[in-house]
Amino acid sequence: MSVDSLQTLANVGKGESTRTTLRVVILFLIAGAAIASRLFSVIRFESIIHEFDPWFNFRATKYLVANGFYNFWDWFDDRTWHPLGRVTGGTLYPGLMVTSGIIYHALRTLTIPVDIRNICVLLAPAFSGLTAFAAYLLTNEMTPSSSAGLLAAVFMGIAPGYISRSVAGSYDNEAIAIFLLVFTFYLWIKALKQGSMLWGALCALFYGYMVASWGGYAFITCLLPLHAFVLICMGRYSTRLYVAYTTWYALGTLASMQIPFVGFLPVKTSEHMPALGIFGFLQLLAFLDYVRSAIPKGQYQTFLWLFAGGTFGIGLAALVVATSAGIIAPWGGRFYSLWDTSYAKIHIPIIASVSEHQPTAWPAFFFDLNMLIWLLPAGVYLCFQQLADEHVFIVVYALFGSYFAGVMVRLMLTLTPVVCVAAAIAISNVLDTYLSAKSPKPEDRLSDEATDAAVKKAPKGGLKSTSKPFVGVYSIFSKGAVVGAMTIYLLLFVLHCTWVTSNAYSSPSVVLASRLADGSQHIIDDYREAYQWLRQNTRDDAKIMSWWDYGYQIGGMADRPTLVDNNTWNNTHIATVGKAMSSREEVSYPIMRQHEVDYVLVVFGGLLGYSGDDINKFLWMVRIAEGIWPEEVSERAFFTPRGEYRVDDEASDTMKNSLMYKMSYYNYNTLFPPGQAQDRVRGTRLPEVGPTLDVLDEAFTSENWIIRIYKVKDLDNVGRDHASASAFDRGIKKKKATKKRGPRVLRVD
């Protein structure tokens, strides 16, 4: 009796309910930290949608909220890609917008007056809290130590690799997709471990949600079959695997085909073939398994070889035939660039022109993951030590993820979850070993055994040889040193994450911040100044031509039709705009007239030293235009004879006569004393005489000259061409063909 009560007393701190409460509290705190660390930009600037793509998602969400789901589904947007339009409802991943729409309507039902913009801005931080929780669940499946799960949750919450895509305002597909990715993996592991159809179905459900949300779903589509394949190769085929995989594949594929943008891709494209192949392979294995139990061993061997060889041959032949016949689409360009990093640069400049499609630089790994990156191998090693089915998953994921993260900067995002899980396993292993305050003593060992065996007090002085050999850390100093070092690492990690988030990932890029001489913050808001001007003071259907980077922003903020935008589905159309920008005025004007362009918008950073401007992007326009019209646009002609890209006096004639150059520097020299015009981005002095524009009128220039808007002139009233009309306005006399006068003749009456 007394012993029982003593034990209950001792177990108060260790009670299951206390631990659960603690765990829940800690998880809530982690979610809070994850959300809080993403709010830098809201606090510094305002609740604003960031960058480029989020503006489209925001606009689509507003459309969904205003017009309802079915209209959204059938949305044909005639305000983009003028005059082609875009079947927006069928060419987007609706998961993000629908999620925000549901949250919006739920809150409205509770009559909470929340603005859809705030939902969109805060969606990514809110989902990062959920991601942390999903990472906790996933890690718990890997190791019995629940501290590993909590560590993984913390890492997931604040790792810059994930924060980079999920700060407040970064309303992009990745905002919810990473949560779905991690959670789908958790459900997969759960289904695999239990061989449960229920978990498999749940996994398929979340996979379907993931497909609805992000193009990166292909990562799951390839990783799960790979995991299954590796397990099969390791001789670990089991009914559990069969049940989990087939449930996921059958339901998941059906679910994914419900999204119009995906449609029949899962049975048509090469990216989805591994999943189908493994599905078929598992059926064969299951069949063989059955046959083996039914027929004698000798016959089985022959049967096996014939059967396996035949099936493989037929399958391969079918694949080749289907691919060459065009039933299965070949690999897409973005996919090729995953294997050959210079592929895009040569063949598809439009993909290469996006900075996030560039190969990753080595420091980026440390920048985005800090110490986690060197803990990853340790975690993977620990997984190797146990190597149950779920650990194989981590190993496969780590290898796969590391490769892709090395190829494309933005795929750092898919690597981050596994790095967090592996690092958490490693750290918790170290801490669990070194953090026990008691030094192991022979007597303790005995009592440990005694309690382990859950028997009454064992008699002292049992046989030493019968007890297990005990390995442990005896010195308090080494414990202290290791734990101390780990603590310092962890603290440094937090510092690093905060610093990176605050400095690198929290700028809305629509609004720029600078400091005044007295240290106060000054907001440079040129983008919105110009977009607001366009929105209020131009016709509702005035077509705006700009480089495609600004298409989504113009659609979202200025609410005007654009020619091209960040949904780069039509390379020719983009090249047309590139050609208009890079050609002479006489060439550009017909292009602009044909596309009913009313205004042309360029970004110019020369006054402020804003380097992301159009002159710096100009070569990509030239290259993309050259891809379609090699005879008319030539990249070489934009360089000086010595191969330099210059904008000053030395610039080539093609450069100086290009519409982009003229629009950027038009009137700019009048801002300076004669001959003193400076371009602060290129750091050069500009020609004393600025360019002249004949076919365009300057319509608006923002305060710091970042955005310049030009109005396309109408045809001349008296039928002159624009060059002579503006020459006339400038007062330059047209040279008349001098009439040959004959010799004077005396007039005779």
The residues that touch another protein, with contacts defined as CB under 8 A, are: 45-48, 110-113, 511, 523, 525, 528-529, 531-533, 535-537, 557, 667, 670-671, 697-703, 705, 711
In the complex, minimum distance from the CB of residue 153 to another protein, in angstroms, rounded to a whole number: 24
* Token pair for 113: 């007056």
> With respect to another protein, which residue has the nearer C-beta, 111 or 302?
111
Shortest spacing between CB 16 and another protein, in angstroms? 16
Nearer to another protein, 11 or 521 (CB): 521
Q: Closest CB to another protein among 80 and 583?
A: 80
Long-range contacts of 493-500 (CB under 8 A, 24+ apart): 493/370, 493/371, 493/372, 494/158, 496/160, 496/370, 497/37, 497/158, 497/159, 497/160, 497/163, 497/370, 498/37, 498/158, 500/160, 500/163, 500/367, 500/368
CB of 556 to another protein, least distance (A): 8
Tokens of 120: 């969109």
Q: Is the dihedral of CA 426, 430, 435, 439 positive or negative?
A: positive
Shortest Å distance, C-beta 381 to another protein: 40
Closest distance to another protein from the beta carbon of 703 (Å): 8
Nearer to another protein, 262 or 511 (CB): 511
Which stretches of 370-441 are DSSP H helices?
Answer: 372-386, 389-407, 412-434
CB of 532 to another protein, least distance (A): 5
At closest approach, how far in Å is the CB of 706 from another protein? 11
Calpha distance 411→250 (Å, rounded): 27
Closer Cβ to another protein, 345 or 713, answer by number? 713
Closest separation in Å from C-beta 558 to another protein: 8
Look at the block and give the residue holding tokens 């002609």: 637
Spell 661-697 as b/e; 16+ CB within 10 A means b.
bbbbbbebbeeeeeeebbbebbebebbeebbebbbbe
Q: How far is CA 459 from CA 360, 439, 446, 463, in A?
A: 63, 22, 10, 10
CB atoms within 10 A of CB 564: 26
Q: What is the C-alpha to C-alpha distance for residues 384 and 593, in angstroms, rounded to an integer? A: 65
SS3 track for 14-50: CCHHHHHHHHHHHHHHHHHHHHHCCCHHHHHCCCCCC
Strands 521-524 and 512-515: antiparallel
Min dist CB 80 to another protein, Å, is 18
Return the number of the residue (238 or 532) whose C-beta is nearest another protein.
532
Q: Report yes or no: 82 and 563 within 8 Å, Cβ to Cβ.
A: yes
Which residue, 381 or 700, has its beta carbon nearer to another protein? 700
Report CA-CA distances (Å) from 82 to 86, 401, 506, 545, 560: 9, 39, 33, 9, 11
* Residues in a beta bridge with 600: 545, 710
| Gap between the Cα atoms of 507 and 484, Å rounded | 35
Shortest Cβ 557–another protein spacing (Å): 5
Hey, what are 102's tokens? Answer: 């549901």
Classify 698 as helix, strand or coil: strand
- The candidate with the shortest Cα–Cα distance to 51, out of 706, 513, 611, 549, is 549
Give DSSP secondary structure letters for 547-578. Answer: -GGGHHHIIIII---BS--SS---HHHHHHHH
Q: Which is nearer to another protein, 117 or 236 (CB)?
A: 117
Maximum separation of any 2 CA atoms in the chain, in Å: 155
As measured in angstroms, the least distance from the Cβ of 702 to another protein is 8
Nearest approach, Cβ of residue 510 and another protein (Å): 8
Residue 291 to residue 297: CA distance in whole angstroms: 10
In the bound state with another protein, the residue whose beta carbon lies nearer, of 121 and 134, is 121
Which of 391, 543 has the CB closer to another protein?
A: 543
Cβ proximity to another protein, 48 vs 450, nearer residue:
48
Nearer to another protein, 44 or 268 (CB): 44
CB 523 within 8 A of CB 512: yes
Alpha-carbon span 654 to 659, nearest angstrom: 10
3-state helix, strand, coil in the chain (%, to 5): 60, 5, 30
Residue 713 · residue 697 · CB < 8 Å? yes
- Closest to another protein by CB, 223 or 706: 706
Cβ distance to another protein smaller for residue 528 or 682: 528
Based on CB atoms, which residue is closest to another protein, 41 or 253?
A: 41
Q: How far is the CB of 111 from another protein (least distance, A)?
A: 5
Which conformational region is residue 454 in: left (phi greater than 0), alpha (psi within -120 to 50 degrees), or beta? left
For the bound state, the minimum distance from the C-beta of residue 109 to another protein, rounded and expressed in Å, comes to 10
Q: What gap in Å lies between CA 475 and CA 483, rounded to an integer?
A: 12
Nearer to another protein, 233 or 516 (CB): 516
Relative to beta strand 696-701, strand 707-712 is antiparallel
Smallest gap from residue 728 Cβ to another protein (A): 16
The residue among 62, 145, 45 whose CA lies nearest residue 435 is 145
Shortest distance in whole angstroms from residue 553 CB to another protein? 10
